[in-house]
Structure 1
Amino acid sequence: MSREAQTVLKFPILIGDIGGTNARFAILKDAFAEPKMFENVKTADFETIDEAIQTAVLDRTSVQPKSAVLALAGPIDGDEIDLTNCPWVLRPRQMIQTLGLEEIIAINDFEAQALAISALPDDARMAVGGGVQREGASRAVLGPGTGLGVAGLVRARNMWIPVAGEGGHVDIGPRTARDLAIWPHLKTIEGRVSGEQILCGRGLVNLYRAICRTDGLEPVHDEPAKITQGATSEDDAPSREAVTLFSTYLGRLAGDLALVFMARGGVYIAGGIFQRLLPMLKPEMLREGFEDKAPHSELMKEIPLYIVTEPLAALTGLAAFARSPRFFGLETTGRHWTA
């Protein structure tokens, strides 16, 4: 852990979870206060993140934050941080001057999700199938939204250590005869079908269109919401299959992560789009895809799989870190700016 990660942040602290489509903010007045929440922000409504924070947060409170801990949907690299699925660019040094802050820590948005699952209460998660959680064992989290976020969480030296990455961009391949029929019709990136090409909002559209082409049908939907709505209709077989396969493929990728991290502490599925899909999905298919990992199917039966039901889990994780940074092995070198 870096020396910076041991710093006690100065209150009040602004915390923010900034995705490709939505940004959510709150302020912690002190280590014991509950976060003061603000209305969700649509990233498309503001030209810059500075403008969004000023308008949606600072102009609506008399509390002036001294510090900020921001989770961003994209890799943190340098003094100009581009979000993967949003035109916003975070410039921490400029933000310190513009918004009157003393320090900023920026982390990956799924590091924040990993922080959250370090102590997610039972009423904020739903188990899918069996398995027994082992306390202190590694965990993993993934979440389909505008993109596909992935992170790990490992326990060492009495600290939870989040492991960030771009795991949503790993290759994903066909497994069944139906998959083999659909795969040639999927839109690729330079010939690759990554997890994010299927398991996110635009990925659901990609999958739906590929199913239509496979069956010689003309696609009629061009938005994820229309596909999820169509999946409730008996007359829209492509939408129903798209949602069903989305669940199976997500289960498979969750199983891959379980093996990568040997996540006996559980694999957690988060993300807004999954919450909307949940009423239409068959949990047994999600679990079946998760356990379909020969020759390790028996091992997979022992690993719990959870759906995160707390819609603001990332902010919960950020708040936990902001209150007690020393309890987390969060590397902040190159991601911590001061006035």
Structure 2
Amino acid sequence: MPNPSDSDHTIAFPILIGDIGGTNARFAILTDAYAEPKEFPVLATADFETIDLAIQTGVLDKTSLQPRSAILAVAGPIKDNEIDLTNCDWVIKPEALIRELGFEDVIVINDFEAQALAAASLGQEHLEKVGGGEVRPASSRVVVGPGTGLGVAGLVHARHTWFPVPGEGGHVDIGPRTPRDLELFPLYDTIGGRVSAEQLLCGRGLMNIYRAVCKAGKIKESATSPAEVTAAWSAGSDPAAVEAIELFVTYLGRVAGDLALIFMARGGVYLAGGIVQKIIPALNQPRFREAFEDKAPHNEILENIPTFVITHPLAALHGLAAYARTPVRFGVSTKGSRWKA
């Protein structure tokens, strides 16, 4: 089935929108350009063998609406007619979704492309500012999201249009800067012999830091999950958990600052995902912005770039809904990622 060109901005309502992560899948249906999305319960990807079954059971069986189109944001590279998710066993086959579930049109984009769309469309009520700096209108933005992995996307403004720029920025290298780092980095789990940003800045990355802190201090590990680490940090009951969170926000500041320089993101850096929402008090401590701004010889540039935590619980769906309502407002490339019946 041939893909439409990028100039085809017509998407037929009702539209199923879906944010497919490594752990959870979130769906909603948009009946028209003016309606609020009809949301469905969050689904655990591990509970369903395929995305087809998840959509049928978790969405279509629970409504009389029959979506004509689907826009899916997925955690993984989009290529060919079978899309493997990075941290999930699902394989998305758009032609099968059309054939089996009755869609006329299926668009698949990167999950952090959807987060970038959210960064262009969310109101101030869904953003919590961390530190100084001011948004420069119509300037580039960056979204960084520690979750099951580390998602990164840019957002560039040109010709009155927001262009999301997906990528695999979460896999850049990160290295030691302080004497404490030099103690801990040899203890971190590596991937292919290196420490990538994602090895430290996601759920398993937080555990990587926590285990290294315990090993360096010859402390018995008491937390066995990211949730237990954040709970122990919040309660102040485990010094290793407290340091792990402090290191986590420091490393996040460093990486976010690097990405801000790459995109010259004078429109702001936006932190997404459940982990950052849980540790806002730690992000508000000086160490995050200090690490973000510590980029000699360009400290002054970083001082003037604002950082925000996205607090909307379904930000990616919000971004997808904004795109579904007015596709012409966003420069989303659908070449090679759109299938029509």
TM-score normalised by the chain length of structure 1: 0.97
Aligned pairs for 1:214-225 within 5 A: 214-225=216-227
Asked if residue 71 in structure 1 is aligned to residue 65 in structure 2, the reply is no
Partner of residue 98 from structure 1, selected from 97, 100, 103: 100
Structure 2 partner of 1:256: 258
Asked if residue 31 in structure 1 is aligned to residue 33 in structure 2, the reply is yes
- Whether the aligned pair in 1 keeps the contact of 2:126 and 2:312 (CA below 8 Å) is yes
Residues 79-107 of structure 1 show CA distances to partners (whole Å, capped at 9, x for unaligned) of 11011101011000011111110010000
Against the structure 1 CA distance between its residues 319 and 234, is the aligned structure 2 distance closer, same or farther, given a 3 Å change threshold?
closer
Aligned to 1:94, what secondary structure does the other structure show? Answer: helix
Read off the aligned partner of 1:200 and give its amino acid letter.
Answer: C
Against the structure 1 CA distance between its residues 104 and 316, is the aligned structure 2 distance closer, same or farther, given a 3 Å change threshold?
same
* Structure 1 gaps, min length 5: none
Residues 24-49 of structure 1 show CA distances to partners (whole Å, capped at 9, x for unaligned) of 00000011111001000011111100
Asked if residue 13 in structure 1 is aligned to residue 15 in structure 2, the reply is yes
Structure 2 partner of 1:211: 213
Aligned to 2:122, what secondary structure does the other structure show? Answer: coil
Q: Displacement, 1:281?
A: 4.5
Q: Displacement, 1:188?
A: 0.3
Structure 1 partner of 2:53: 51
Aligned pairs for 1:285-296 within 5 A: 285-296=287-298
Aligned to 1:4, what secondary structure does the other structure show? Answer: coil
Aligned pairs for 1:99-248 within 5 A: 99-248=101-250
CA–CA distance in structure 2, aligned partners of residues 193 and 217 of structure 1: 23
- Whether the aligned pair in 2 keeps the contact of 1:5 and 1:329 (CA below 8 Å) is no
Asked if residue 272 in structure 1 is aligned to residue 278 in structure 2, the reply is no
Aligned to 1:208, what secondary structure does the other structure show? Answer: helix
Q: Displacement, 1:231?
A: 1.3
After superposition, the CA RMSD in angstroms is 1.2
Q: Displacement, 1:294?
A: 1.0
Q: Displacement, 1:4?
A: 3.2
Structure 1 partner of 2:299: 297
CA–CA distance in structure 2, aligned partners of residues 232 and 165 of structure 1: 33
Against the structure 1 CA distance between its residues 137 and 280, is the aligned structure 2 distance closer, same or farther, given a 3 Å change threshold?
closer
- Whether the aligned pair in 1 keeps the contact of 2:131 and 2:284 (CA below 8 Å) is no
CA–CA distance in structure 1, aligned partners of residues 18 and 190 of structure 2: 32
Read off the aligned partner of 1:32 and give its amino acid letter.
Answer: Y
- Whether the aligned pair in 1 keeps the contact of 2:29 and 2:38 (CA below 8 Å) is yes
Against the structure 1 CA distance between its residues 227 and 5, is the aligned structure 2 distance closer, same or farther, given a 3 Å change threshold?
farther
Aligned to 1:16, what secondary structure does the other structure show? Answer: strand
CA–CA distance in structure 2, aligned partners of residues 105 and 225 of structure 1: 34
* Superposed structure 1 runs of 4+ greater than 6 Å apart: none
CA–CA distance in structure 1, aligned partners of residues 205 and 236 of structure 2: 23
Against the structure 1 CA distance between its residues 230 and 312, is the aligned structure 2 distance closer, same or farther, given a 3 Å change threshold?
same
Residues 154-203 of structure 1 show CA distances to partners (whole Å, capped at 9, x for unaligned) of 01121100000010000011111111110000000111100110000000
Residues 86-130 of structure 1 show CA distances to partners (whole Å, capped at 9, x for unaligned) of 101100001111111001000000000001111221111011111
- Whether the aligned pair in 2 keeps the contact of 1:112 and 1:317 (CA below 8 Å) is yes
* Structure 2 gaps, min length 5: none
Residues 30-85 of structure 1 show CA distances to partners (whole Å, capped at 9, x for unaligned) of 11111001000011111100100100100000000000000001111111101110
Between stretches 144-153 and 272-281, larger displacement belongs to: 272-281
- Whether the aligned pair in 1 keeps the contact of 2:83 and 2:93 (CA below 8 Å) is yes
- Whether the aligned pair in 2 keeps the contact of 1:24 and 1:38 (CA below 8 Å) is yes
Structure 2 partner of 1:40: 42
Aligned to 2:279, what secondary structure does the other structure show? Answer: helix
CA–CA distance in structure 1, aligned partners of residues 156 and 30 of structure 2: 26
TM-score normalised by the chain length of structure 2: 0.97
CA–CA distance in structure 2, aligned partners of residues 258 and 281 of structure 1: 17
Read off the aligned partner of 1:185 and give its amino acid letter.
Answer: L
Aligned length: 338
Structure 1 partner of 2:90: 88
Give the % identical residues: 60
- Whether the aligned pair in 2 keeps the contact of 1:232 and 1:280 (CA below 8 Å) is no
CA–CA distance in structure 2, aligned partners of residues 245 and 117 of structure 1: 26
- Whether the aligned pair in 2 keeps the contact of 1:24 and 1:39 (CA below 8 Å) is yes
- Whether the aligned pair in 2 keeps the contact of 1:228 and 1:243 (CA below 8 Å) is yes
